[in-house]
Structure formats: C-alpha cells, structure tokens
Structure 1
Amino acid sequence: MTANSSTGLTRRALLGAFAATTLTAAPTFSHAAGFLKGAGDIRRLRMVNPRNGERLDMVYWVEGDYISDALTEISRFMRDWRTNDVKAIDARTIDIMAASHNLLDVSEPYALISGYRSPKTNNMLRSQSGGVAKNSRHLRGEAADLRLHSRSVSQMARAAAACRAGGVGRYSGSNFVHMDCGPVRSWGS
C-alpha cells in the first residue's frame, strides 16, 4: 500500500477506519453531513454506471477536508454520458448521497441513472417527458438520480428525506430516486 501524501494514511488504513465505524450521529449539515459524523471522519461514495459499466468507490472526505482529486473524479464519473460533458458536482449533493447510502446500510453501490446533464441532453429529455424540469438542478451539477436493487424507491426516498438537506423525488414507475442540494422538498410517489 502506498501512503496518501496529503494525509500520511494508507488506503488500507482509511478503508479500515471507515469499515470499523458505525453511523451514530443525529442529522445536522447542516443535515446530510451530520449523518456522516462518527463515520471515522471519512466519507465515501460507491456507484456504478449501468450504461457504460464504469464503477466508482471513492473516499472523498477525510478528517474535515474534501479531497479535491476525489471530487474531480466523482464529477467525471457523474458526467453527462450522452455528450461526455463534465461539470463539478456540488459537494452538498455528494454528501446527501453518501449519508443516504449509510442510512440504508447496504454494501451495494448506487446505480447512477443521471448526474450532470448538459443543456442539450436536458432539452432532449424535456421533449420526451413532462417530468423533466426546464431549469433542472442536474444542469448545475446539483442533482443525481439513483437506484438500488436491494432497496425500494420508498426506502431510498425516506433515507434521503431524513437528511433534511435538499430535494427528494420518488419515481416509482422508473425505479429511481432523485436527490439534490436545493431547498428541502419532496415529490412523487
């Protein structure tokens, strides 16, 4: 194992510390980040993109600091898969995703349905569906549409809503949950 030059910790030590901890904090992030407190001072995100087979298992925050290279890699992973355009994903959204995943107590990675959307992609989706917002938070890198095979849309939405840190949309017919760092609100069934 190689040492991480910015922290002096090995990857094994980071992952071991994360795996050895439990989630015990009450919500505050304000709220989403509070769910991650007590998690060994490490935040981690696991996803797979079913469209291209890419996988991500990334520690992106250690002991109070975001890891710039990790956030860049998460943003690249969450790019618009139709155009390959990349936009920085808001760290608040990443925190909501990670906190929700921890609350669900699963090892399965999220399946990323949609992260960043270019204006071209958003316009195309709007022309095909009434459920796509003209000024979608996806356009700003502030939203993700996610699926877990081991958890229902209801379970995922409840976990995201428990963070009280952004928008949560239930799309039961399409089997995914929308999470964003905008105003606290919920919709869908």
Structure 2
Amino acid sequence: MKTSSITRRALLGAFAATTITAAPTLTNAAGFLRGAGDIRRLRMYSGRTGENIDTIYWIEGEYIGDAVKEIWHFMRDWRTNSVKQIDLRTIDIMAASHNLLDATEPYMLLSGYRSPQTNAMLRARSSGVAKNSLHMQGQAADLRLASRSVGQMARAAQACNAGGVGRYSRSNFVHMDCGPVRTWGA
C-alpha cells in the first residue's frame, strides 16, 4: 500500500479547500475506480458496536495510511475483536458505489472481516454463508442503506464492474467484494 504522511489537520484542510462535485453517473463508475476522483471518502456506522466512521482515505492518488487503518479496525470481526487488513479494492468499490448513489447517509456495516470461527458459526446457522467466504480474506462487506433499495445499491456496485455483488432482498442488504465480477441473489 502506498501511503502518504499527510497529517489529519492537513487532510481536513485539503478537504475544506476542495469543492465537492456531483456524484459520478453509473456510466463512469469504472473511471472513478481507476482514480478519476481527487478524494475518496467512506462513511459507515455499526449497529453492533455503536461506532461510526467518516474518513477520507485517499487523496490525489495516495492512500492515507492512518485512515485506512481506521477502516480496517472499524470493519473488524466484532464477535472476536479480530482485525484484518481489508483489501483496498473492496474499500474503493464501497466508496464508489456510495458516490454513485448520491447518498448522504452512511452505510450500515452488517459484516466486514469474519474470523474463521465466526464464519463457521454463521455457516452453521445459514445455508447462505460460503465455506470459503471472501469476508475471511478481508475482501467483502455486507452493507445496507435505509434511503436506498437493495436493487439500487446492487446496480451501483455492479456499475463499478470490479467484483462480486450479491442481492439479499429478504434481509435488506447488499454484499460487495473485490473477487471475480459476478452477481447473485434477488
């Protein structure tokens, strides 16, 4: 990971000095992932831990190491308190999809990293949990937005053309990962 030594104060100054433009359209989502934006930001909350995160993690081609580490900690397995490095591609897909939705509310994170123990426990409870889930590799997230439908969220993630997108309409969430490009669910 290429990181910058930008301080939080400099980061906030850069953000304040930047004019935020309209969200990209679905047709240019791939361009956003290739670095067409000056700033990448991720906003989430966890109903499980009560934590919130609102951080700029990338500026003008460089990941901000401290911000990325905050995201990794936030996306930890809350059951075991284990932290894993979340694949930057997954973080970028999440941020790009959120931008495409032009949503102001933060994502609700339902599941980020899962330890093997947590994955096995969830798998025993549900047939919808993969034995070799990308969650265990730090390459997936299950997300919800109250202001957007599962279909809207899935279409935004699919527009990124950068990984797997699962629709879980009955449970009201979307799975996003940086694995092979594929879709499933209804």
Compute the TM-score of the two structures, normalised by the length of structure 2. Answer: 0.90
Q: How many residues align?
A: 180
Partner of 1:27: 29
Q: Tell me which of 63, 68, 71 is aligned to 1:71.
A: 68
Aligned-partner Cα distance in 1 for 2:76–2:168: 21
Question: Which AA in structure 1 matches 2:175?
Answer: H
1:152 equivalent in alignment to 2:149: yes
| Change in 2 beyond 3 A, CA 1:82/1:23 | same
Q: Which has the larger share of helix?
A: 2
Output the CA distance in 2 between the equivalents of 1:44 and 1:15.
13
Superposed displacement of residue 51, structure 1: 1.1
Give the 3-state SS of the residue equivalent to 1:100 in structure 2.
helix
Segments of structure 2 that go 5 or more residues without pairing to the other structure are none
Please give the residue correspondences for 1:16-165 in structure 2 after superposition, counting only pairs within 5 Å: 16-17=17-18, 20-24=20-24, 26-28=28-30, 33-34=33-34, 37=36, 39=37, 41-165=38-162
Please state how far the C-alpha of 1:5 moved relative to its aligned partner: 6.0
Q: CA offsets per residue over residues 53-106 of structure 1, 9 Å max, x none?
A: 100001000110011111111000000011100000000000000000000001
User: The residue matched to 2:29 in structure 1 has which SS?
Assistant: coil
Task: For 1:71 and 1:175, locate their aligned partners in 2 and report how far apart those are by CA, in whole Å.
Answer: 27
Pairwise CA RMSD of aligned residues?
A: 1.9
Distance of aligned partners of 1:5 and 1:185 in 2 relative to their CA distance in 1, 3 Å threshold: closer
Identity %: 64
The residue type equivalent to 2:29 in the other structure is P
1: CA distance, partners of 2:116 / 2:68: 22
Q: Which runs of 5+ in 1 are unaligned?
A: none
Amino acid at match of 2:172: N
